[in-house]
A and B are shown apart, each in its own frame.
Chain A
Amino acid sequence: MAALNDEQVMLRDMAREWADNESPTTAFRKLRDAAPAKGFDPEAWSTVAQMGWSGVVIPEEFGGSAFGYLSLGLVVEQLGRNLAVSPLSSTAVAASAIAMGGSDAAKSEWLPKLAAGEAVATLAIDEGPIHGGKIEASAPGGKLSGTKKFVAEGDGADVFVVAATDGLYLVAKGEGVTVSTRKMADSRSHADVTFADAPAEKLGGPELTQAVVDRATAVLTSEMLGMADAAFDQTLDYLKQRVQFGQVLSTFQALQHRMAKMKTELELMRSTVEAALEAIDAGRSDVDQAVSLAKAVANDTLKLVSREMVQLHGGVGMTDEYDAGLYLKRAAVLETMWGTASYHRDRFARLNGY
């Protein structure tokens, strides 16, 4: 854990407590089975906003607390532990795009609403199933056209931050915006969103797109960290109680060494995730490198831990009744979102000149 101040410790502990008491994995199961149209529980979202989490990266003058990305990451990590469903990450990151590039009017219109949880926002960047592909959407004369694929929280979003060939645009849901749900393995909200001459306000050029995607990626690795930690803890608990051959499984050295290896990787993962968030807060010039490092390491580590979770649970790990499968399915989606490990390794290498 990074060196945290008192406010951050409080924030983390509150988020942990809320996730454990109000949003355990049973809450996710309930939501999955109920399948609400917006993809999240409005009551839970309203609580999240009341606690101030939706405003953590929004400037104070617009109703936020401007605590920064490490703070946001601490909250997202705790929610990730329990697979808590929330449009928090997507809203926070889209809000930061508005804060960085929006006009005074746009900021005044949207940021207070987003900080208060009265509106949901998201990024609409990719046009294919793999991050980093070609962007063809364009906005001649402030009318944006194009189709964005697999937009997270696309079902419930009130406003979209959309990537076009020449940068980022702000588009409110309504005229010229069509949302169609994609059902994914993780049972969360993903949608294809088509813009047809939708009224759009420009936020900034391609540099802004990259900066915002880097922020989204860093926040995503926090969720992955929470998931990997929780998946590991649950696997360890299971090994400590499951008896085979007259012995508790956790006493077998072959299993001990696999757990020790995972514990080691988790330590490295935490360092890279926190370093990426700290780099953003510090306004460092190598945020891009720090983010690609964190995402590549997070992908590899969450993949290892979530797959081992199923294997080490044995047959019950294959059942829907146990949580292992829920972590596995969400993990695979997050490993793909904002770039696979190979995408980020290549980017890291290019940034370093080899």
Chain B
Amino acid sequence: MATAAELDRPADTTDAFRQEAREWLEANFPQSLRGKDNAMSAVDGPTEETAEQKQWREAMGEKGWGLPTWPKEYGGGGLGRAEARVLGEEMMRIGAYNPIGGMGVMMFGPTLLEYGNEEQKQKHIPGIVRGEVRWCQGYSEPGAGSDLASLQMFAEDKGDHYLVNGQKTWTSGGQWADKCFALVRTDKSQKHAGISFLLIDMDAEGVETRPIRLISGSSPFCETFFTNVKVPKENLVGREGQGWEIGTRLLQHERNSLSGGGGSQGRMNQGEQIPFIAKKYRDVDGEGRLADSDLRTRIIKHEMDQRAFALTLRRAALEAKGNAGPSAATSVMKNVGARITQDRAELAIEIMGMQGLGWEGEGFSHDELAQTRTWLWGKAVSIYGGSSEIQNNVIAKRILGMLDHQ
């Protein structure tokens, strides 16, 4: 049988590509950015790009290697999976990060490649590949969160354009976005079948965003208001009334990326491992074990949970070879990922005591203050992208075939 190691081993045909990738990266990746993160993926919104960051983003965008497997005709890298893996390995080897990220990459792009017409792909995909256009998601409304199909924002057919009125909420990065992919109602007489998938310019007249301040102190989300916004007909993706199908597909891509199935290694949080933090802040006994046995047990459980999750992501990736796109099983992964993220943060602040609950000012290290915010922000992961309860519904209905009340 093919072992995991064999599957992970690059084929001979990629050796030439490895050399090519290595040379290109050495010529283009600024040494000053070694080990840095992608500024585009920051939770708290975009930070001012430095000259080096800009240069790196543009070089990768031009090459299409930020999205190595996307089709070349729309600016993507056009590489095979084996080559993309080699590229990733070579980037990791020199401490380079992928400067292309965001919701266009994780959710909207893959969906448009599937459902968009040729003109729409030509128009929108290159901007995502080059990291030049920011997208936000117009799904949730004040009265339509987990029950998303109850959405009310209305797009009225005016011949050559739609006239859009309504409100969206939890618009991630809405205040920084250039464009919005939105679910709108085009037919009030039908629930699911009355929904369409529409692309809206955030700088169009009548669009207003108001950031929502969260318990973590940051404002990554907005309320977004649409008042008599004119949207050209060509911005409709798919057919009128096909929005629920397209939107659901997009949510699968979202869950897939949130669950770590999008390529992360299964350790949802960066930073120090929990046992290491524990040894720094807590006492150990004569045998080098954490002295608080109850805490130690719970840390071990968490570490095992995290290890089992990483193994499951790996297994899912091996099994998915040959299968296209994310499946309903991504709901399972999303829930486990959320649980682990939250357990980790809860353990971290418990281990650190008062030192892990600082808000600002002297007396707390940068890492300690970050821990407080990470803990609070982490409460969102079991809510956004479909709450854990909604994912459990998906698992019960789609995987286990348990039906609704008749």
| A354-B351 Cα distance, complex, nearest whole Å | 14
CB contact under 8 A between A348 and B300, given known A250-B402, A353-B288 = yes
State whether the Cβ of A333 lies closer than 8 Å to any Cβ in chain B: no
Judging by beta carbons under 8 Å apart, are B393 and A256 in contact?
yes
User: How far does the Cβ of B383 sit from chain A's closest Cβ, in whole Å?
Assistant: 16
Q: Contact check: which of B1, B297, B307, B309 meets A5 at CB < 8 Å?
A: B1
Best-surrounded residue of B7, B278, B303, B404 (most CB of chain A within 10 A): B303
User: How far does the Cβ of B86 sit from chain A's closest Cβ, in whole Å?
Assistant: 20
Interface-side segment among A52-60, A257-265, A306-314: A257-265
State which residues 314-371 of B face A: CB under 8 Å. 314-315, 318-319, 321, 329, 332, 335-336
Q: Contact check: which of A263, A281, A293, A349 meets B332 at CB < 8 Å?
A: A263
Nearest A-chain residue to B395, judged by Cβ:
A260
User: How far does the Cβ of B316 sit from chain A's closest Cβ, in whole Å?
Assistant: 8
| Residues of chain A within 8 A of B312, CB atoms compared | 267-268, 270-271
Nearest B-chain residue to A261, judged by Cβ:
B392
State which residues 277-307 of B face A: CB under 8 Å. 278-279, 288-290, 296-297, 299-301, 303-305, 307
Judging by beta carbons under 8 Å apart, are B297 and A342 in contact?
yes
Interface-side segment among A111-119, A158-166, A171-179, A272-280: A272-280
Q: Contact check: which of B2, B275, B288, B402 meets A3 at CB < 8 Å?
A: B2
Judging by beta carbons under 8 Å apart, are A260 and B300 in contact?
no
Judging by beta carbons under 8 Å apart, are B395 and A349 in contact?
no
Judging by beta carbons under 8 Å apart, are A263 and B275 in contact?
no
User: How far does the Cβ of B331 sit from chain A's closest Cβ, in whole Å?
Assistant: 8
| A5-B403 Cα distance, complex, nearest whole Å | 36
Judging by beta carbons under 8 Å apart, are B304 and A251 in contact?
no
State whether the Cβ of A236 lies closer than 8 Å to any Cβ in chain B: yes
| Residues of chain A within 8 A of B404, CB atoms compared | 251
Complex interface bits, A317-354 against B, C-beta within 8 A gives 1, otherwise 0:
00000000000000000000000001001101110111
| Residues of chain B within 8 A of A272, CB atoms compared | 307-308, 311
| A263-B307 Cα distance, complex, nearest whole Å | 18
Nearest B-chain residue to A344, judged by Cβ:
B304
State whether the Cβ of A8 lies closer than 8 Å to any Cβ in chain B: yes
| Residues of chain A within 8 A of B33, CB atoms compared | none
Nearest A-chain residue to B329, judged by Cβ:
A267
Judging by beta carbons under 8 Å apart, are B405 and A251 in contact?
yes
| A263-B319 Cα distance, complex, nearest whole Å | 17
State whether the Cβ of A2 lies closer than 8 Å to any Cβ in chain B: yes
| A345-B297 Cα distance, complex, nearest whole Å | 7
State whether the Cβ of B16 lies closer than 8 Å to any Cβ in chain A: no
User: How far does the Cβ of B126 sit from chain A's closest Cβ, in whole Å?
Assistant: 36
Nearest B-chain residue to A345, judged by Cβ:
B300
Best-surrounded residue of B312, B391, B396 (most CB of chain A within 10 A): B396
Judging by beta carbons under 8 Å apart, are B304 and A348 in contact?
yes
Complex interface bits, A4-20 against B, C-beta within 8 A gives 1, otherwise 0:
11001000000000000
| Residues of chain A within 8 A of B4, CB atoms compared | 3, 278
| A8-B2 Cα distance, complex, nearest whole Å | 12
Judging by beta carbons under 8 Å apart, are B305 and A256 in contact?
no
State which residues 372-392 of B face A: CB under 8 Å. 389, 391-392
The secondary-structure label for the interface of chain A is: helix
| Residues of chain B within 8 A of A253, CB atoms compared | 393, 396
User: How far does the Cβ of B306 sit from chain A's closest Cβ, in whole Å?
Assistant: 10
CB contact under 8 A between A5 and B2, given known A267-B332, A297-B304, A354-B289 = yes
Q: Contact check: which of A70, A248, A271, A354 meets B275 at CB < 8 Å?
A: A354
State whether the Cβ of A106 lies closer than 8 Å to any Cβ in chain B: no
Q: Contact check: which of A1, A261, A348 meets B319 at CB < 8 Å?
A: A1
| A side interface size, CB within 8 A | 46
Q: Contact check: which of A5, A268, A293 meets B336 at CB < 8 Å?
A: A268
Judging by beta carbons under 8 Å apart, are A2 and B318 in contact?
yes
User: How far does the Cβ of B378 sit from chain A's closest Cβ, in whole Å?
Assistant: 19
The secondary-structure label for the interface of chain B is: helix
Nearest A-chain residue to B284, judged by Cβ:
A354
| A70-B402 Cα distance, complex, nearest whole Å | 32
Judging by beta carbons under 8 Å apart, are A264 and B336 in contact?
yes
Judging by beta carbons under 8 Å apart, are A8 and B403 in contact?
no
| A145-B371 Cα distance, complex, nearest whole Å | 57
Judging by beta carbons under 8 Å apart, are B396 and A345 in contact?
no
Q: Contact check: which of B299, B315, B403 meets A250 at CB < 8 Å?
A: B403
Nearest A-chain residue to B392, judged by Cβ:
A260
| Residues of chain B within 8 A of A240, CB atoms compared | 401-402
State whether the Cβ of A304 lies closer than 8 Å to any Cβ in chain B: no
| Residues of chain A within 8 A of B402, CB atoms compared | 236, 239-240, 250-251, 255-256, 259
| Residues of chain B within 8 A of A5, CB atoms compared | 1-2
User: How far does the Cβ of B260 sit from chain A's closest Cβ, in whole Å?
Assistant: 13
User: How far does the Cβ of A159 sit from chain B's closest Cβ, in whole Å?
Assistant: 31
Judging by beta carbons under 8 Å apart, are B299 and A354 in contact?
yes
Nearest B-chain residue to A341, judged by Cβ:
B301
Judging by beta carbons under 8 Å apart, are B392 and A354 in contact?
no
CB contact under 8 A between A3 and B289, given known A236-B400, A271-B315 = no
| Residues of chain A within 8 A of B299, CB atoms compared | 349, 354
Judging by beta carbons under 8 Å apart, are A354 and B279 in contact?
yes
State whether the Cβ of A103 lies closer than 8 Å to any Cβ in chain B: no
Nearest B-chain residue to A301, judged by Cβ:
B308
State whether the Cβ of A282 lies closer than 8 Å to any Cβ in chain B: yes
State whether the Cβ of A296 lies closer than 8 Å to any Cβ in chain B: yes
State which residues 127-175 of B face A: CB under 8 Å. none
Q: A264-B395, A268-B309, A348-B303 are in contact. List 18 more A-B contacts (CB 8 A).
A: A2-B315, A2-B318, A3-B7, A3-B321, A236-B400, A236-B402, A250-B403, A253-B396, A255-B402, A264-B336, A267-B329, A269-B308, A271-B311, A272-B307, A272-B308, A272-B311, A282-B5, A354-B279
The 9 A-B pairs with the shortest beta carbon distances in the complex, nearest first, are A256-B396, A5-B1, A260-B392, A260-B395, A271-B311, A271-B312, A268-B308, A354-B275, A250-B402
